[in-house]
Amino acid sequence: SHELRTPLASIQGYTETLLDGALHDQEHNVRFLTIIQQNAARLGRLVADLMILSRAELKTQKFRFASYPVAHLLGDAIDTMRPVAEKKEIQLHLERPAAGAEVFCDSEATHQILANLLDNAIKYTREGGSVTVSYVAEPSAVRFLIRDTGIGIPQHELPRLFERFYRVDKARSRELGGTGLGLAIVKHLVRAQGGDVAVESEIGAGSTFSFTLPVHDLGLAETPRV
Ligand code: ADP
């Protein structure tokens, strides 16, 4: 509730200040409105992320499982994120191993997972860096890898990284528009589809986030829903 209250208190505070007379203060009114706008946007992102997480946790989310070519899933996600990468002058590469790999998953949920991991990789990599997406076949799954040349994460932070609202650097995450929920969403969506998540990182050198999705139907669509 603290995460929601902070932007809300800011919106209420600055709205009151404007109504109490600051509206006519030409030196400050635009700045106050900008703060209101930023906090409203932040609140919007938080609510959207909390909705995704709550649907995943309550198992009320309807997954539509089917077989999808890995190349299509990755192509869609990369097309979506390319403008974000270009804006920051980050090279976005797709390493294509043997063609023809398929996974049994929900395409929307997989898109969300890839978008969150690519968004983070771009966010936590400095201008001029690179982000590389690849995949490898495992016995009954495909492992997707998102590798960046970014700031890296200290080893002792890695075990808690996928917890809700856990951030290595709270101020930096906030400044970059983060909600602290992206990785918690990733973990839930991957697990719900029968996969697992992993991360390796080295400070100053970069991070590699990976997740698996099954190749065959694991019968997960049959799970009872609340
Ligand atoms: P946020 O909205 O803060 O990015 P996430 O749940 O997506 O929240 O990530 C949690 C934290 O993990 C981030 O605040 C950041 O400290 C760290 N993190 C995630 N991805 C990366 C990455 N690719 N490189 C470095 N740090 C990362």
Closest-lying ligand 1 atom to the alpha carbon of residue 173? 3
pLDDT at 56: 81
pLDDT at 160: 95
Closest-lying ligand 1 atom to the alpha carbon of residue 180? 8
CB 114 near ligand 1, within 6 Å: no
Rounded to the nearest 10 degrees, what angle do helices 70-87 and 107-123 cross at?
A: 30
Cα–Cα distances in angstroms (integers) from residue 79 to residues 52, 74, 146, 162, 170, in the given order? 22, 8, 15, 26, 29
CA of 204 to the centre of ligand 1 (A): 15
74 touches 114 (CB < 8 A): yes
pLDDT at 86: 96
130-138 and 197-202: which strand pairing?
unpaired
Distance (Å, whole) CA 186 – CA 201 = 17
CB 199 near ligand 1, within 6 Å: no
Distance (Å, whole) CA 201 – CA 195 = 20
pLDDT at 225: 47
pLDDT at 59: 76
> Using H for helix, E for strand and C for coil, what is the string for 94-113?
ECCCCCCCEEEEEHHHHHHH
pLDDT in tens, the chain (226 residues): 888 999 999 999 999 999 999 999 999 999 999 999 999 999 999 999 999 888 887 877 788 999 999 999 999 999 999 999 999 999 999 998 767 899 999 999 999 999 999 999 999 999 999 999 999 999 999 999 999 999 999 999 999 999 999 999 988 888 888 899 999 999 999 999 999 999 999 999 999 999 999 999 888 875 544 4
Q: Rounded mean pLDDT of the chain?
A: 93
Distance (Å, whole) CA 109 – CA 189 = 6
pLDDT at 222: 57
pLDDT at 226: 45
